[in-house]
Copies of this chain bind each other. A is one copy, B any other.
């Protein structure tokens, strides 16, 4: 919960979104942002896109409000940048900032996510299956 600098220059419409400065990005916040399945999938899509993409290309199993919330969390925690572009809002990973602050972190997490998904696809969907819960 870093005090995101609400860079609202004029008092009017908040057409400029607040982003934390690079030095204000905290590792715990980034990890927390990445710890949510929905947000992690967003980051994965963004990483594959290799550029900007609007909010509406994501098909997460949540409502639009919730998606907005997750985007905001990602932005306020320094994981992505968001800019208005007409009626759409473009999202992009802060690859440079993150790579500079925490070298390799983003790539490692993304690789781990892909790896886990690949393993999960072959291991069956029932997440409870692996639990074993050995009945004595």
Chain A interface (Cβ < 8 Å from any Cβ of B): 2-11, 14, 20-21, 23-24, 26-29, 31-32, 34-37, 40, 101-105, 108-109, 111-113, 115-116, 119, 123, 127-128, 130-134, 136
Contacts and interface: CB of A to CB of B under 8 A. Distances in A.
Nearest to A39: B28
A114 B111 CA distance: 22
B35 A3 contact: no
Contacts of A113: 27
Nearest to A132: B5
A109 B105 contact: yes
A126 B41 CA distance: 33
Given A5-B130, A24-B130, A104-B111, 14 more contacts: A3-B132, A5-B131, A6-B136, A7-B134, A8-B134, A9-B136, A20-B130, A20-B131, A31-B31, A31-B32, A31-B35, A32-B35, A101-B116, A105-B112
Contact of A2 (B29, B119, B123, B127): B127
A18 to B, nearest CB: 9
